[in-house]
Structure 1
Amino acid sequence: MSRPSTPDAEAVFAEELSVVRPGLSAPYARALPGARAAVLTRLWRALAYEPLPWIAGREADREGLTVRLADGRRLHGPRPDPYVTSDHVTELRLGERVYERPEALVGALDVPHGDAFSAELGDSVASLALSRADRTSAAVPGPSAASWAWEQRIVDGHPYHPNCRARPGFSVAEQLAYGPEHRTSVRLDLVAVDDALVTGEWPKWLRDGERVLVPVHPWQVAHVLDTPVQEGFAGRPLMSLRTLAVPDGPHVKTALSARLTSSVRDISVYSVRTADTVSAFMEAMTSRLDAPLHITRTLGAAGAGFPDLAAVVRESPDGYAGEGERCVPVAALPLTGLPEKASWLAEFTRLVLTVGLRLLELGVALEAHGQNLLVILDRAGSPVRLVYRDLADIRVSPARLARHGVPVPELSGRIVTDDERALRRKLFGSLVGGTLGATAGSAAALGEALERVAPDLPRTADLPALLGDPLPVKALTLMRLSPETPGDLWTLLPRLLGGPGSS
């Protein structure tokens, strides 16, 4: 069967780079093999663990893992570790042919919706190689550096998504101008909106009389919006790319109608309408919890009534770090060198699971992945408190709140659920499968940390499921290959500790 040809993203990037930043051409070429391996490693994780409908079975042996496809072909690779983040898979063998490029492998698999996914994988490889090519001059943040300085040190993006650096629709020049890993500053524009939908206290400096000034990303202005803009202000892009830290000010989350990893990053009308209520509720919950957790308050949200033009302003997490302390996004922890110590990893594991389980028991499941969760380190580097930001995707259980005598907020929609499995998936998948897994870097290290801290964890009704059941994580590749299915899809990773569970 003939297949439509797609542009070679690596070559396209190389050609553009030779024009806009020729000095990076040679480092980019050197970074390509490692970038292919990084994306191939993430893809192999999906092929080894996700419930992809065209996989008939999996067989492990001393040499690795063989994946049996429904059409009879066999795909072979090394024995997988679902928590490894190194570039350890350099090739996979499909039948008699060896593949080093993930997009070529997906093309050869010839699966439904594979063409679009293959193109995204090629973009992910090229974009990741570009990011790695430009990291040599990145200085290590000093003791008093703002959290955004740590975020701009994060080069590889999502630790487990094959689309870890995919940015379809972004040229090389735009990536260099807007990508946080390129240590840039981005000037946002402003769009004046009459009769805007506003919740919370929209800042006075973002108003023009009765009109609301909505900050918009320059990529959005160039590719999506067709409306006059005013010159705005500069900010440092964070790892989400569309959220920026204003110097000595708040963080501003903009709509960016581009697909990054799995989702199109706009801001729904629902999110604008519920932002103030959710923020006030979570601020009250942290006070009730009496635990080392801070929530970055949403100061205001505004929009024009459609997802492509909206923004959220929230306080900076840096204000929760005291003198001599550092506020570091969890995704940046491997860059500090601290997780190499088993005792440090156990200390961190105890902190985050204690907070997460206690809050879940009360009725709130955080999506505590490495981007949303930050940790405050003391002078010695010990984790002492947590900061959580971006409340758009938490889950709230009215039944659990009521059992503990907590007033139920006036909320509806996707954020509200009493489904026990959905609540546990939200917290366990992000906090253990994402935050702790990527920080530990291997199933052995993560299992050891859990075993060390298990006796100290709160004895909640959710603890047996956490320690004894297989771990639910998002099936990221299945989600990209299932465009007809909205929402999250899930898979199960092997249990990290022995013993029966009780989910």
Structure 2
Amino acid sequence: MHRPSSAEAEVVAELAEARPELAARYAAGLPGARAAVLTRLWRALAYEPLPWVAGRERGREGLSLRLSDGRRLHGPPADPYATAAYVTAVRLDGSPYDDPARLLTELSVPHGMSFAAELGHSVASLALSRAGQEGHPKGWPTRDWEWEQRVVDGHPFHPNCRSRPGFSVAEQLAYGPEHRPVVTLARVPVRAAECLVTGAWPRDMRDGERLLIPVHPWQAEHVLKRPRDLPGAGIAAHPLMSLRTLALPEGPHVKTALSARLTSSVRDISVYSIGLSATLSDFAETLAARMDGLLHVTRTLGAATAHSPDLAAVLRESPQVYAGPGERVVPVAALATTELPRSAAWLAGLTRLALTVGLRLLELGVALEAHGQNLLVVLSADGSPVRLVYRDLADIRVSPARLARHGIPVPELTGRIVTDDVTALRRKLFGSLVAGALAGTAGSGAALRGALEAVAGELPETEDLAALHEETLPTKALTLMRLSPGTPGDQWAGLPNPLLAEVF
């Protein structure tokens, strides 16, 4: 009989106080949640350059890892693009493990204990997220935030897909988008002279000489230590899939600072990104105009920071403003939750559209972080993908050399966004779009391969497309990054290219 992890037991105890009626569904969902997280972890063990994996032996019957201490870890064949939870257990020197946190603890690798705790949180939170789905409305949503809240399982490939350390059960139920709450944002007053503001900060978020910066209630309580009855408090908003970004009643979306580690990153808002937000928004608008109507980029309406990553907010358009009559704008991450007949032809249509736009922009000098959360697709009345919408420019990459080559004025940008490194540019786009958004929608290596093959001859012939055909497919080494706390920045893995290699 499985012994609950500490994270699982904590949720059981807190549910008894917060929502006892969910306890039975939560308990019933734990095995599936363990398998979902273990499947994501097995992908990382199979493909990431982990220093303590000395060798890998692949075959039709499974995958065996030879560890540097001489032990062997065996599991099923690893499809790097599978989203279904197909790994229910792996064997370490013959002993079965169905719990990813216990497995990582037993592996005894450097920094493994803290990551194992995160995996335990991921399992427990995922089971809680699934437990709260009974009775929710089906069919086609009518509001933008309803699409977002359909994404229950989080990141399709990250073992920390639902890790929310620092959030109690009551807070997850109150703030997690999959639980469909209404969240009341505080508005923290700060003297305008003490803030950095870009764009047009709205009048209804000003109080004389002070800005009223929207603040997530978790942030107000745990980080800013502010009272709940702040002046100007009380904006009712709906959380989107990123949790810290919410849809306001009048339509705009607000990204708030949330100094908690969700999946891999602490979700604060740097002063650097606030300072560049208006320039990036204007620049993106000019580039979208070159895309023959295939791409819209949501405009940043205003951004403000009290010169602190813990107290900042960004206001931007809702992607829904780009929907025409009868059309729907759907985050790519939410496509798997729709009732669309996702045939091979439909997937090929989405792939053609996404790669046409992504490769054209990359050739011009901009690499999008086009994962399933940032990238949205406009669907026609019959469900066909017709245009794209992109949001959140904070992590794109811009190549001054490529822009200049095409006669495009180089914007005044500095810092990590600016690079002429070809590898960095291709990793940014291919890792997020192909190994991320498209793979997550396809759900398997075979389906992704079919879509890529179907459109290969129709895409812009560029050096970047040639590289996509000739190299392994880059993806962020998400587990390696969590096990390397002293290494800054992204680390990468190479996945078998579905156009070149058989994908197990």
Match of 2:498 among 477, 496, 499: 496
Partner-residue secondary structure (3-state), 1:198: strand
Q: Report the Cα distance in structure 2 between the residues aligned to 1:169 and 1:29, rounded to whole angstroms.
A: 21
Q: State the partner residue of 2:64.
A: 66
8 Å contact 2:216–2:258 — kept in the other structure? yes
Deviations 1:71-125 (A, max 9, x none): 0000000000011111110001001211010000000000111111000000000
Distance 2:163 2:381 in 1: 36
Distance 1:412 1:396 in 2: 10
Aligned to 2:165: 168
**Equivalent residues in 2 for 1:295-306 (5 A)?**
295-306=297-308
What does 1:294-333 align with in structure 2 at a 5 Å threshold?
A: 294-333=296-335
| Conservation of the 8 A alpha-carbon contact between 1:242 and 1:253 | yes
Question: Relative to structure 2, which stretch is displaced further, 252-261 or 134-143?
Answer: 134-143
8 A contact 1:333–1:339 mirrored in 2: no
Match of 2:449 among 428, 438, 447: 447
Deviation by residue 1:435-470 (Cα, 9 ceiling, x = unmatched): 000100011110011001011101122101112211
Q: Which digits, 9 at most, give the CA deviation of each residue in 1:265-290, with x for residues without a partner?
A: 00000011000000000011111332
Q: Determine if contact 2:139/2:339 at 8 Å carries over to the other structure.
A: no
Residues 1:182 and 2:179 are matched in the alignment: yes
Q: 8 Å contact 1:339–1:440 — kept in the other structure?
A: no
d(CA) in 2 for partners of 1:484 and 1:460?
A: 37
TM-score of the aligned structures, taking structure 1 as reference length: 0.96
What letter corresponds to residue 51 of structure 1 in structure 2?
A: P
Alignment of 1:281-292 (within 5 A): 281-292=283-294
Match of residue 427, structure 2, among 425, 428, 441: 425
State the TM-score, normalizing by the size of structure 2.
0.96
Determine the structure 1 residue equivalent to 2:30. 32
Cα distance between partner residues in 1 of 2:139 and 2:176? 18
State the match for 2:211 in structure 1.
212
Amino acid at match of 2:390: Y
Alpha-carbon deviations, 1:376-414, whole Å to 9, x = none? 101100001110000000000000000000000000000
Give the letter aligned to residue 216 of structure 1: V
Q: Distance in 1 between matches of 2:62 and 2:9?
A: 32
1:22 pairs, out of 20, 23, 43, with 20
Report the secondary structure of 2:290's partner residue.
helix
Residue identity in the other structure for 2:244:
R
CA contact under 8 A between 1:179 and 1:241: conserved in structure 2? yes
Match of 1:193 in 2: 190
Amino acid of the residue matched to residue 185 of structure 2? Answer: L
Is 1:98 the counterpart of 2:100? The answer is no
Residue deviations 1:199-236 (CA, integer Å, cap 9, x gap): 11111111111211110000001110034633130111
Q: 1:370 is matched with which residue?
A: 372
Matches within 5 A, 1:111-126: 111-126=109-124
Counting only pairs closer than 5 Å after superposition, residues 8-19 of structure 1 correspond to structure 2 as 8-19=6-17
Aligned-partner SS, 1:313:
strand
Following TM superposition, by how much is the alpha carbon of 1:339 offset from its aligned partner in structure 2, in angstroms?
6.1
SS for the counterpart of 2:161 is coil
5 Å-filtered alignment, 1:39-78, equals 39-78=37-76
Read off the aligned partner of 2:437 and give its amino acid letter. Answer: T
Quote the residue 1:470 is aligned against.
472
Q: Which of the numbers 233, 236, 239 marks the counterpart of 2:235?
A: 233
Cα deviation for residue 7 of structure 1 reads 6.7
Secondary structure at the residue paired with 2:289?
helix
Partners of 1:10 and 1:152 lie apart in 2 by 23
Does 2:111 align with 1:110? no
1:462 aligns to what SS in structure 2?
helix
Of all paired residues, the percent bearing the same amino acid is 69
1:178 maps to amino acid: Y
State the AA in 2 paired with 1:49. Answer: Y
Deviations 1:284-313 (A, max 9, x none): 111133241000000011011010000000
Taking a change above 3 Å as real, the CA distance of residues 273 and 339 of structure 1, as seen in their structure-2 partners, is farther
> SS of 1:93's equivalent?
strand
- Per the TM alignment, residue 150 of structure 1 is displaced from its structure 2 partner at its CA by 1.0
Counterpart for residue 348 of structure 1: 350
Aligned 8 A contact 2:395 2:417 in 1: yes
Task: Specify the SS of the correspondent of 1:44.
Answer: helix
Find the residue that maps to 1:465 and give its secondary structure. Answer: helix
The C-alpha deviation readout for 1:342-369, integer Å capped at 9, x for no partner, is: 0100011000000000010000000000
Structure 1 Cα separation of the partners of residues 154 and 284 of structure 2: 28
Listed as ranges, the gaps of 5+ residues in structure 1 are 1-5
Aligned-residue offset at 1:248: 3.0
Q: Distance in 1 between matches of 2:341 and 2:186?
A: 39
* Aligned residue number for residue 3 of structure 1: none
1:269 alignment counterpart: 271
Question: CA separation in 2, counterparts of 1:498 and 1:236?
Answer: 43
Secondary structure of 2:96's counterpart equals strand
Q: What's the secondary structure of 1:184's corresponding residue?
A: coil
Q: Write the letter of the residue equivalent to 1:382.
A: S
Query: SS of the residue aligned with 1:253?
Result: strand
Distance 1:355 1:80, change over 3 A: same
Post-superposition shift, 1:141?
Answer: 4.5
CA distance in 2, matches of 1:121, 1:498: 33
Alignment of 1:389-428 (within 5 A): 389-428=391-430
Q: Judge conservation of contact 2:5–2:120 (CA < 8 Å) in 1.
A: no
Decide which moves more: 431-440 or 224-233. Answer: 224-233
The total of aligned residue pairs comes to 493
Kept in 1: contact 2:332–2:376 (CA 8 A): yes
In 1, the alpha carbon distance for the partners of 2:402 and 2:91 equals: 49
